[in-house]
């Protein structure tokens, strides 16, 4: 069986080192506040919660940069919720994943 190359991304959004560091620091601050305030985490992947809590804000930042939304850098404890709201009232909750779809 021939192995297919990994899929190419449909879009590519680059972050500068400073943008990546900023989004990472927001993720760390959010996690620290959530832990301090007893907000529970539901992580089913077995991955490190600290890493997952960094990847989420990076995904939000990329989405904001891609679509021109202001990014909410608030670090108040929250569980789930809405990350962006469009002018027409549509609400968006950004999700981040490292998994790709196997074409098989």
Inform me whether the pLDDT recorded for 16 exceeds 90.
yes
Where do the domains of the chain lie? 17-39+46-92
More confident residue, 6 or 71: 71
What pTM, to 2 d.p., does this model score?
0.75
Q: Taking Cα atoms as reference points, which of 77, 69, 104 lies closest to residue 93?
A: 69
What's the pLDDT tens digit per position in 65-86? 999 999 988 888 766 678 898 9
Q: Taking Cα atoms as reference points, which of 10, 26, 7, 33 lies closest to residue 101?
A: 7
Percent residues over pLDDT 90 in the chain:
34
Residue with tokens 């879009």: 11
More confident residue, 31 or 104: 31
């Amino acid at each position: 069986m021939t192995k297919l190359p990994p899929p190419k991304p449909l879009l590519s959004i680059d972050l500068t080192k400073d943008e990546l560091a900023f989004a990472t620091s927001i993720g760390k601050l959010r996690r620290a506040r959530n832990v301090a305030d007893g907000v529970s985490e539901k992580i089913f992947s077995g991955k490190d919660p600290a890493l997952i809590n960094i990847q989420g804000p990076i995904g939000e930042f990329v989405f904001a940069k891609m679509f021109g939304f202001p990014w909410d850098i608030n670090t108040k404890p929250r569980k789930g919720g809405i990350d962006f709201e469009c002018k027409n009232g549509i609400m968006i909750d950004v999700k981040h994943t490292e998994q790709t779809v196997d074409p098989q």
